[in-house]
Structure 1
Amino acid sequence: MEYRKIGNSDLQLSVITFGAWAAGGWMWGGTERKDAVNAIKAGYEVGISSIDTAPIYGQGTSEEIVGEAIKDIPREKIQILTKFGMRWDLAKGDFAMHSQDNSGKNIDIYKYAGKESIIYECEQSLKRLGTDYIDLYQIHWPESSTPIEESFEAVARLIEQGKVRYAGVCNYTAQQMEEANKACKIISNQVPYSMLNRKIEAEVVPYCLKNNFGILAYSPLERGLLTGKIQPNHVFAKGDARSEMKVYQPESIKKVNDFLLKIKPIADDLGATLGQLVLKWTLEQPAITIALAGARNAEQTLQNAKASNLQLSQEQIQFINSELSSI
Structure 2
Amino acid sequence: MAGSSFVDYVKIFCRSGNGGAGSRHFRREKFEPKGGPDGGDGGRGGHVILRGNQNYWTLIHLKYQRHVIAGHGGSGSRSRSSGASGEDKTIEVPLGTVAKDAETGEVLFEITTHGEERIVAQGGRGGLGNVNFKSSTHQAPRYAQPGEPSVEVPVVLELKVLADVGLVGFPNAGKSTLLAAVSAAKPEIADYPFTTLIPNLGIVEYRDYKSFVMADIPGIIEGAHEGKGIGLRFLRHIERNSILLFMVPSDSEDIRKEYQILISELQQFNPELLDKKRLLAISKTDFLDDELQGELEKDLPDVPYVFISSVTGYGIAQLKDMIWKELETSMLER
TM over 0.5: no
Structure with greater Cα Rg: 2
Q: TM-score, normalised by structure 1?
A: 0.27
Structure with the higher fraction of residues in helix conformation: 1
Q: TM-score, normalised by structure 2?
A: 0.27
The structure with higher relative contact order (CA 8 Å, sep 6+) is 1
